[in-house]
Chains A and B, each alone.
Chain A
Amino acid sequence: MSIPVIELDDVTKVYPLPAGDVTALSGISIRIDEGEFVAIMGPSGSGKSTLLNQIGCLDRPTSGDLFLAGKNTREMDDRELTSLRLSSIGYIFQKFNLIPLLSAYENVEYPYIMKHRKNDDTGRVRDLLALVGIDESLSTHKPNELSGGQQQRVAIARALVNDPAILLCDEPTGNLDSQTGTQIMEALSELHKKGRTIVMVTHESEIAAYAERTIVIRDGRVA
């Protein structure tokens, strides 16, 4: 049996608040294999975004272990976790989260430069932008000059530039109209067909339908 790309073992996340501790995740154990397209569903406040933050190494579980490609993240410091986010995880956010100071092209190139310490001279950035349907004239635009759909396409290209093992999507269509949303989902499906591991958080069942497997979270537990 191959090593799973993502494995959560009894992961619990507790937020200590003055009014009492809030348990966001309680004993979650999930295993996601390479090439899977998994949707995480649940009502708001169920803890699905917290779960995605754990998988994306933006946060640390209070207890339990998270293995990414067989490595336990508990033993990593901030520097190593940051490197992991750079090289092994591609993030697609609901609010696109492009860097306003950089053009579309530079936004995609940014993680490449951070990883390789040089400009992209392989044409990868250009190819990825073409793949998501951003042509050369659009690639010089700043994010605020692009439509929501275009921004999300740029964000997908950015997420893919370092060829990550995992693509994490947090409500990728949440800020888009349904037609654009469908286009984005089709683009993600294409990536899945090419073998990309995708974990997507959504609360819309028609979006979740693009995934092969759906995990439902309720009150911080796998339902």
Chain B
Amino acid sequence: MIGNDIILALSVRSVRLHFLRSVLAALGIVIGVVAIASIGMMGANMTLSVTEQLSDMANKLTVTPYTGGGGGMMMGGGGGGRVVISSGSSSDDDDVITEKQFKTIQRIVAKYGTAYTVRSESDRIEVGSDTGRATIYGLDPEIMREILTVEEGEYPKSTTSVAVGPTLAERLNLKIGSKLKIGDPDEGSTTTVRVVGILEERGMSMDLSTDMAIVGSDKLFVGIYGGEGEYDQVNVVVNDINNADVVKTAIEDELNRKEDTVTVQDSSRMMESITSSLSTMTTFVMAIAAISLLVAAVSIFNVMMMSVNERVREIGILRSIGTQRTEILRMFIYEAGILGLVGAIIGAVMSIIIGYIVVVGMVGTAEYFFAAGSISYVPMAMAVGAAICIVTGVYPAWRASNLDPIEALRAE
């Protein structure tokens, strides 16, 4: 007994009869589905994980003196790169934020959050016989406690103590109690300070890049570089992320009314550009993966053409005893569909396994693996794989259904 759909039964039997051939054809689809799904998932997980990291600082705005260009502030990598915020070693040039401007900012921000000043300078430093350059930040000690975490030791209080970033500490072999000299002896005096704390790693951030920096109190900073009442940067922390835009516009409207004096940056633009470049990359790699599906499609096409050519006589018999063209068409579409479906199902199972391994390996966390944006690549790749099979099967099936029954019966 076979089910009512004898046409489907014939397709199933044809696939089973040529088991190895069918398995190999379906394998192509499996590989294609796995490639597309796991790369898609990898991209989605990367984007989700980066977005999560970035949104931690989405409530932060930085206000820097307007320099005419695209903005005076850029993000410093956790590892090394530093950008000189004000030019030269003196802070008394025009590129500063004045106390008056800061008060204005504070007044605007008051309703939405808090603002604090940052002084920073890039300078030569000397530890024993090692020399190098680092950023020196001057922060209000109160603020410092709020925004920075000391991993080891304590927060610097006096004008001779500093905390250092973990990367800098490691590179220069600084420990609690180490002495370091700030300043270039050729250009003037140097200041010797003592390390009292090592900061916790902060990573990529746009407000402060302390991993490779020295952090001291504002008094220490002014003592070395002067510039009372002048700041290199004002950081704003907004309580509600949704107000970030309002605050940004308000500051710009107020301080840039006559001419551009400050640049206000939020992290949204950076976030946008990072996620968009990630998605471009993912799409590109997925397009490469799609080539494997194309190869699979060719192999399905080949198998279907073989199946039709082998069964010309059978098609002739079926037609002569009263099988409609549409039923012959259906029979071969089913056959392609079975290959596609089996391939897609196996592919889906394997892409969850392989995708998981890839995501853990490449992104480092499977936290977002089962998020909708990630796992949805599995049914999507399945659908694409199965659809490609069916589309590929259309021409062979159409050819089969249009065979002349008499000619077909004559075939050996």
Contact = CB atoms under 8 A, between A and B. Distances in A.
Interface stretch (B151-159, B166-174, B192-200, B311-319): B311-319
A115 B314 CA distance: 19
Interface residues of A, number: 33
A22 interface: no
Contacts of B316: 97
Contacts of B314: 99-101
A117 B4 contact: yes
Interface in A155-174: 158, 162
Given A97-B409, A99-B314, A117-B4, A79 B324 contact: yes
Interface string A89-126: 10101000111111000100111011101110000000
Interface stretch (B9-17, B121-129, B383-391): B9-17
Interface in A163-194: none
Interface in B139-183: none
Interface string B180-213: 0000000000000000000000000000000000
A107 B116 CA distance: 88
B4 A118 contact: yes
B325 to A, nearest CB: 6
A70 B325 CA distance: 26
Interface residues of B, number: 25
Contact of B321 (A53, A59, A101, A110): A110
Contacts of B295: none
Interface in B280-328: 313-314, 316-325, 327
A152 interface: no
B77 interface: no
Contacts of A158: 321
A84 B320 CA distance: 10
Contacts of B327: 114
Contact of A82 (B10, B313, B319): B319
B322 A59 contact: no
B78 interface: no
A111 B321 contact: yes
B227 interface: no
A85 interface: yes
A83 interface: yes
Contacts of B405: 58
A86 interface: yes
Given A59-B406, A99-B314, A100-B314, A111 B4 contact: no
Given A99-B317, A119-B4, A58 B323 contact: no
B1 interface: yes
Given A56-B320, A101-B10, A101-B17, A82 B4 contact: no
A221 B82 CA distance: 102
Nearest to A49: B406
Given A82-B325, A101-B13, A113 B6 contact: yes
Contacts of B322: 82-87, 89, 111, 114-115, 162
A98 B323 CA distance: 14
A82 B318 CA distance: 10
Nearest to B322: A86
A82 B324 contact: yes
B1 A119 contact: yes
Contacts of B6: 106, 109-110, 113-114
Contacts of A87: 322
A100 B315 CA distance: 11
B2 interface: yes
Interface of A: 53, 56, 58-59, 78-79, 82-87, 89, 91, 93, 97-102, 106, 109-111, 113-115, 117-119, 158, 162
Interface of B: 1-4, 6, 10, 13-14, 17, 313-314, 316-325, 327, 405-406, 409
Given A79-B324, A102-B2, A114-B327, 17 more contacts: A58-B409, A82-B325, A83-B322, A85-B322, A86-B321, A87-B322, A91-B320, A97-B317, A99-B314, A99-B318, A100-B314, A101-B14, A110-B321, A114-B6, A114-B322, A119-B4, A158-B321
